[in-house]
A and B are shown apart, each in its own frame.
Chain A
Amino acid sequence: MIHAGLTHFLVISVALFSLGIYGVITRKNAVMVLMGIELILNSANINFIAFARFGNFGLQGQIIALFIIVLAAAEAAIALAIVLNIYKNLSNINVDEMDSLKD
């Protein structure tokens, strides 16, 4: 078996990305959907760090990853607040039932 290289990490990130999107699309519960989004962000982070590591791009990748973690936190906070608000209004956070606005 070959030494774990860039492609290995990339495969993990692609898989994580796909799983995240799968989660977003298929889960009814809004919190679960948010979890999917976190997975997507994580996969991007892996990419940044892996590319920086193997391409010898310096520390920029890690910095970016840090930023993204912070942004993810901010986004999660706001998203959860919105979910809670929905729950207050509807006593329900099933995303697929939120379709009063449509054509």
Chain B
Amino acid sequence: MHLPYLSLITFLPIVGMIIVLALPKEQGKTMKITTLLITGIQVVLAVFLLSNYNYSLGGIYDQASFQFVEKFRWIDIENFSWIGRIKVDYFLGIDGISTPLVLLTAIVTFIATLSSWNINKSLKGYFALFLLLDTGMMGVFVSLDFFLFYIFWELMLLPMYFLIGIWGGPRREYAAIKFFLYTLLGSIFILIVMIGLYFSTTEPMADGTKAFTFNLLAMMDPNNATATGILSALNPANLRFAAYIALFAGFAIKIPMFPFHTWLPDAHVEAPTPISVILAGVLLKMGTYGILRVSFPIFPEITKQLVWYIALFGMINIIYGAFCAMAQRDFKKLIAYSSVSHMGYVLLGMAALNTMGISGAILQMFNHGTITAMLFLIVGVIYDRAHTREIDGFGGLAVQMPVYTGFVTVAFFAAIGLPGLSGFISEAFVFLGAFGVRLIRVVTIVSTLGIVLGAGYMLWTLQRVYLGKLNEKWSGLKDLNFREYAMFIPLSAIVIFLGVYPSAMLDLMNTSVNSMVQFMQNIQVYYSSINVF
């Protein structure tokens, strides 16, 4: 029996939160250091998990091949005669799909903590909420019980609302409530489907009886479907299609997928830098992660039917986001829309449903997490100094801040998928995977426009802000300080390392992705055999 590493990594921030809350108000510095320590330990734990990770185990649908599993009965109410037995498991585990994201969360949170150093308003509240948010994010990626997953999923909303709403920009109230309402709307759809699935899945108990379950893995196994469950394929009048749409919409809002994306620019623009970093770096991934972890394996037959639409929305995201980004005058809004565009690649890759596509999608999640974190930090650095984000107000900053501009160049080129940096390989994999599927080939070809559009808006921005003649107004700006180095160097290192040696990440997820693809294929055969299509 190993230590409960996953619980540790998930609930460590809660401990930190309690410490922060217990500290007296004046001890701002201590709070910062506490948070930094906690998130630092998280990174160490994540690396530890990574180093003890067994690359040959697949996970996905098979509990035996999940790793660091912690499972025990959390809620168990027996003899609930009319429903049977209500039980919820505390079930954590990671596989190749979640491990990269756990790592990402740890890293991005750590970096965000560093970038929180400039916050000086009600530190106590800030760091307490920050750490709570951390727990929520980590929890989503490690939980394998739908109920638990949902609790963590919702747990993030409130801290996020306050973090945007209290420490944000001028229109923060509006942005915060918009974020909150939008994402809550998304999650209620998830809730409904969750309950529907609960009633459609039974799991054999130790005593031989069968009980309804929230276990995600059990839901994936069609043998566990009940005969009359509302979302059971065996029930001729099932609502699986509608449920899939609802579930997908719930996750799509988080991604955010066109046309549910309008919360994102507002939230990003108003959020303080570290929160933007987390929002873009981690939160957006939850949507796509949810689709991969929940929608796809539980509804493989409907996924198959809707692949074209998923890819289409991916394409719209890529191109629409890029166009919108190009039209922005606000630096941060531009980056926000670039996230919309980049998340489109993830959707496209997932729609491919083959190894390369899904690997590319997961890799793109990770890479986008690091790259976009850098981009928001870049905006943050400039905003800290100049207190404006109007792109046209800048110019020639490269002369004034050469090192900073160096990192900017790395981040920007990574964002437009330059080979040698991490963004390239994930985009390439997405395209290679998606192009291999006949159905979505045309969509893929149109999507490649994103490559050039991305280069367009990124380089245009680079030029307007950093190149050209230095605006005299900014001749007093200082280059990066030590703390900012500490934020940029690790991220750049990851970006470059994964650009050169993507196998580090791909090997990690490969077995899982393969088993997922295999699983989806097998199960589609199963579903077609019971003639539900």
Chains A and B touch each other in the complex, with CB atoms below 8 Å apart: no
Chain B interface residues (CB < 8 Å from chain A) = none
